[in-house]
Amino acid sequence: MAKVVLKKKVDVETNTLSDVKSYARKIWLAGLGAYTKVGQEGSEYVQELIKAGQAVEKKGKKVVVEKLEAANAEIDEAKSEVSTFKGKVELQLDKVEKAFDTRIASALNRIGIPSKHDVETLSAKLDELTALLERVARKS
């Protein structure tokens, strides 16, 4: 009976070792097969990857250009609005300035200070009188 148990044990160990060798060989062959296939189909696969990358790059550039154009359009619109607003502000400032000048001139006139126009008119009359006096002085 001891012989039978020992024989079964040896057979099980032999079968297990044989199975491990068989699986190891299959793994080795699968690795060699993968290596060979990559060597044969690798360049084709790399070319496919390059094409896919180019397609993604093209789409990305298109999106960037679209976003850039949209941003530039918004900037142009904002510039236009600022320009319009600036024109309105300048117009209002001109109105305020004219109103201020009118009130100052009116106040100065009330207290007896002549305006720029009054001084220029008086200066023109003085020039005329000076010219007239010079003519009279030459005749004498």
Residue 38 CA to residue 36 CA, distance in Å, equals 5
Taking only the tens place, the pLDDT of each residue in 106-131 is 888 888 888 888 889 999 999 999 99
> What pLDDT was estimated at residue 97?
93
Predicted TM-score of the model (pTM)? 0.40
Tokens 């390059």 — which residue?
Answer: 50
Residue 62 CA to residue 57 CA, distance in Å, equals 9
Residue 60 CA to residue 76 CA, distance in Å, equals 24
Taking only the tens place, the pLDDT of each residue in 47-100 is 888 899 899 999 999 999 999 999 999 999 999 998 898 889 899 999 999 999
Residue 77 CA to residue 83 CA, distance in Å, equals 10
Residue 92 CA to residue 100 CA, distance in Å, equals 12
Tokens 């976003």 — which residue?
Answer: 67
